[in-house]
Amino acid sequence: MLPAPQAILFDLDGTLLDTAPDMAAALNRLRAEQGRGPMPFDDIRPHVSNGARGLLGIGLEITPEAADYARLRQRFLDLYAADLAVHTCLFPGLEALVESLEGRDMPWGVVTNKPGGLTHRLLDALELVPAVVVCGDELKRAKPHPDPLLFAAGKLRLAPKDIWYIGDHERDIIAGNAARMPTIAGRWGYLDGERPIEDWGATMVIDRPEDIAGLLQTDNPTEANA
């Protein structure tokens, strides 16, 4: 059952914003510094939702246990921060949705594992003003733990059951379910391919951002994508 919401929360990378072009560019700049050639964008895109750890894993075959990991991770973040909003934009349909939510005074927000410094710079660059933003380094535990979503619900002064959480990674759905929020998995995101989206346990799976507006307009959202 997908009840009508009083607020909507979004994951950031791969759900609200298409950050893959700028993150892929930073990874390829780092590879160039390491004497490696560029990776194809299509090989990088599915891993963007896994952040610096995932991108360094596929781009440099390095894990957090490696002696040089911390230095390379910081260098990647520095390269990304230098050009983090060159090609990044809202996914098609989401600008109109955000305007619609603001027009009806329905709060919307962001819950992401992205570091706070990068998240707020990116939102500022795109002139987005969510009602609440919870970042990956703000609490002791990030997604897939439910803590960030519960924290966001507290800031909104709403019960979790009255908030939709929309994401493009299984950790988003795990966190949302654990917080007892209705969860929506979006096919337009980066989808790392570890498990089919239908197996994540989301309350609903949708194909396009435009489908969110349709769900908000129907009296029974569950029937809209039966």
Active site residues: 11, 13
Furthest-apart CA pair in the chain: how many Å?
57
Q: What DSSP character marks residue 225? A: T
Report d(CA 191, CA 115) in Å as an integer. 20
Q: Is the sign of the CA dihedral 5, 9, 14, 16 positive or negative?
A: positive
In the chain, which ranges are E strands? 7-10, 17-18, 89-90, 108-111, 132-134, 163-167, 183-186, 204-206
Question: What DSSP line would sit under 112-168, residue for residue?
Answer: -SS-HHHHHHHHHHTT---SEEE-TTTSS--TTSSHHHHHHHHHHT--GGGEEEEES
Q: Do residues 113 and 170 make contact, with C-beta atoms less than 8 angstroms apart? A: no
